[in-house]
Structure 1
Amino acid sequence: MKLDFDTRAKPGQKWYIALGMEGSANKIGIGIIKQPIGDPSNPENRSIILSNIRDTYNAPPGQGFMPRDVARHHRNWVVRIVAKAISEAKIEINEINCICFTQGPGMGAPLQSVVIAARTLSLMWKIPLIGVNHCVGHIEMGREVTGANNPVVLYVSGGNTQVIAYSRQRYRIFGETLDIAVGNCLDRFARVLKISNSPSPGYNIEQLAKKGGKFIELPYTVKGMDLSMSGILEFIEELTRRQNEKIEDLCYSLQECLFAMLVEITERAMAHVNSNQVLIVGGVGCNERLQEMMNIMVKDRNGYVYATDERFCIDNGVMIAQAGILEYRMGGNCQIEDSVCSQKFRTDEVFVKWRE
């Protein structure tokens, strides 16, 4: 099947330019990319990042962020960040082909704040609107940056934990969390420790874990291809209250246990689909220890691990622009009346029309 990415190209047009708007959690990100005419899978036609601006709402230590506070933060910053992104990209508004926004999953109030801004810009500037699945945005950005061909994807973030592989124009979910996500588990443990939320709770736990070395046995809950983390969190919270163990050792043990579970289900998915590539995406994907453990497993299978740095692992507008521009080039469009956000927009609901 030959895919035609240039049905919307005008005579003499050399580029498509997309503005992406992300605001599903405590980060608001605006990104602008341009993509050459031609097949995007060709390395010579890769996207060029023109700007990638982001601002984070951080709650005080020991507290999580409330949706209403995050939504207020996004409303306060969205206009300034859009203006800064366009200025940094050095483009004119009439050069933008589409405005892409996160349609879900995520926190309801923050999602609504950004979609209202996206609708407003679309109407003001008369530019088509494209709704993007947050998870698919992570995957497409990861594929674009790393050049991974057809990997098993481990998607790990504050709100999502999934093992995914592509088949027949869908990103199929092979395994996922049955309760809380791995990022949420780490964030909630950081609240118990009352450590700073800046730059992120998971990053601060990672730094404490590097100082630990004693492994404390924790519940290990893998159920087939799925896993559960709420029981592990409750168990380690009780250990913390008893104050019999060093905080650094608790952080080290929590990471080792959670990441071992992730590696196990990822390896099982690799065996099932006969793949030797793993792509790690999502905010927790920045964790160096997770990347190290995954690499040990994948090397035994004579494979490769692909991961990105914090510019693309952590929620950002560029990833929304990347997935959105692929949808746009295949004829996609989102009418204003259809631009409704969903907190439960599953990865496998998206018809991936831009892949064969």
Structure 2
Amino acid sequence: MIVLGIESTAHTFGVGIAQDRPPFILANERDTFVPQTGGMKPSEAARHHTLVAHEILKRALNQAKLSIKEVDGIAVALGPGMGPTLRVGAVVARALALKFNKKLVPVNHGIGHIEIGYLTTNAKNPLILYLSGGNTIITTYYKNRFRIFGETLDIALGNMMDTFVREVGLAPPYIVNGKHKIDICAEEGSNIIELPYTVKGEDMSFSGLLTAALRASKKHDLHDVCLSIREIAYDMLLEATERALALTEKDEIMIVGGVAASGSLRSKLERLSSDWNVELKVVPTSFAGDNGAMIAYAGLLALRHGVSIDVKNSVIRPRWRIDEVDIPWRA
């Protein structure tokens, strides 16, 4: 079985192709919208996706050495994400499914991140940290669904860091040579400034930290502020993770999502894993950010278990939570 997957939930338009035997990933092509100034406007990102969609699709099929007729299903991320960008991917997926008479498979973006993590790290039954621009979630699989133990109460970790570096004039771009601008800035910091630290059980709040850090950037050395906001945010996540470990008694931690690429966070989690005698597994950088391969692979798992929808029912779901999705392939 072969499934083509389309990702368009935010700044990236990606097309991946997966099959049910090694090598599981046959193609993973993408193009990312980077605004010239300020933050990302959904309408501008959607226009970008519309312009590049045909080329990314063509590149993915060429990389896999396949024609669209050889594909068994079209998987598409229907949420969560930004409405205008989600619609672009949905329109492309519907058109392909109708034109070539293929099964249409709905995929939750977060489930895509998690399943590509299982595939690439060989994790068995981990505590999962799903960390991206729009999500900060501590979860694990239990009885047909991923159950959330902790999450952000306001903005996500990645969104908080992106907003900070943008507001203080360090971005865009947000990533340079594989490093986030906040990490580059923090490397020259030496002092930790007092900033809000908000953990409630296994939930976290980052909005107060962001506001205080922006105010501090006008009084203190910017490198020290970058160091402080990063370390405090990561320590909040570690405290919540440690509580989830104590509760679930897992022997693996798996990190997925774009923030998984952070070397500083990884070093902290390595120490935590050593203290708790658990194994740390991190999704490879090439699959950490948004990509079509994760949608194709999650769609493959779903289609093999009979999950598909009619085109008329393929509505986008901008607030679709991972704990609302049944996972029959792990039953």
**TM exceeding 0.5:** yes
TM-score under structure 1 length normalisation: 0.90
Could you tell me how far 1:199 is from its partner in structure 2?
A: 5.2
Residue identity over aligned pairs, in percent, reads 40
Separation in structure 2 between the aligned mates of residue 330 and residue 182 of structure 1, nearest angstrom: 34
TM alignment of 1:1-356, pairs within 5 A? 16-36=1-21, 46-61=22-37, 63-198=38-173, 200=175, 203-242=180-219, 245-356=220-331
Query: What residue ranges of structure 2 are gaps of 5+ in the alignment?
Result: none
Stretches of 4+ aligned residues off by more than 6 angstroms? none
Match of 1:8 in 2: none
Query: Per-residue displacement from partner, 1:83-104 (whole Å, max 9, x unpaired)?
Result: 1110111012221111110010
Query: Per-residue displacement from partner, 1:194-251 (whole Å, max 9, x unpaired)?
Result: 1232253871111221222221121100011111010000001001123xx2222211
Could you tell me how far 1:252 is from its partner in structure 2?
A: 1.1
Aligned residue pairs: how many? 329
Stretch moving more, 265-274 or 135-144: 265-274
Tell me the secondary structure at the aligned position of residue 44 of structure 2: helix
Alpha carbons 2:168, 2:214 under 8 Å: kept: no
Separation in structure 2 between the aligned mates of residue 147 and residue 217 of structure 1, nearest angstrom: 39
Letter in 1 for 2:6: M
Alpha carbons 1:47, 1:144 under 8 Å: kept: no
Stretch moving more, 113-122 or 46-55: 46-55
Tell me the secondary structure at the aligned position of residue 287 of structure 2: helix
Letter in 2 for 1:237: L
Tell me the secondary structure at the aligned position of residue 20 of structure 2: strand
Letter in 1 for 2:218: R
Tell me the secondary structure at the aligned position of residue 256 of structure 1: helix
Query: Per-residue displacement from partner, 1:307-341 (whole Å, max 9, x unpaired)?
Result: 12321110000000111100000011111011101
Tell me the secondary structure at the aligned position of residue 342 of structure 1: coil
Alpha carbons 1:129, 1:334 under 8 Å: kept: yes
Match of 1:11 in 2: none
Letter in 1 for 2:209: I
Separation in structure 1 between the aligned mates of residue 188 and residue 103 of structure 2, nearest angstrom: 50
Separation in structure 1 between the aligned mates of residue 297 and residue 225 of structure 2, nearest angstrom: 38
Alpha carbons 1:161, 1:182 under 8 Å: kept: yes
Query: Per-residue displacement from partner, 1:271-318 (whole Å, max 9, x unpaired)?
Result: 111102111111111101111101101111111111123211100000
Tell me the secondary structure at the aligned position of residue 281 of structure 2: strand
Letter in 2 for 1:235: A
Separation in structure 1 between the aligned mates of residue 23 and residue 133 of structure 2, nearest angstrom: 27
Tell me the secondary structure at the aligned position of residue 58 of structure 1: coil
Could you tell me how far 1:60 is from its partner in structure 2?
A: 2.4
Separation in structure 2 between the aligned mates of residue 250 and residue 325 of structure 1, nearest angstrom: 44
Separation in structure 1 between the aligned mates of residue 216 and residue 173 of structure 2, nearest angstrom: 25
Separation in structure 1 between the aligned mates of residue 183 and residue 86 of structure 2, nearest angstrom: 28
Could you tell me how far 1:176 is from its partner in structure 2?
A: 0.6
Separation in structure 2 between the aligned mates of residue 264 and residue 301 of structure 1, nearest angstrom: 13
Stretch moving more, 271-280 or 196-205: 196-205
TM-score under structure 2 length normalisation: 0.97
Q: 1:136 to 1:47 in 2, by over 3 A?
A: farther
Alpha carbons 1:60, 1:196 under 8 Å: kept: no
Letter in 1 for 2:272: M
Query: What residue ranges of structure 1 are gaps of 5+ in the alignment?
Result: 1-15, 37-45
Tell me the secondary structure at the aligned position of residue 264 of structure 1: helix
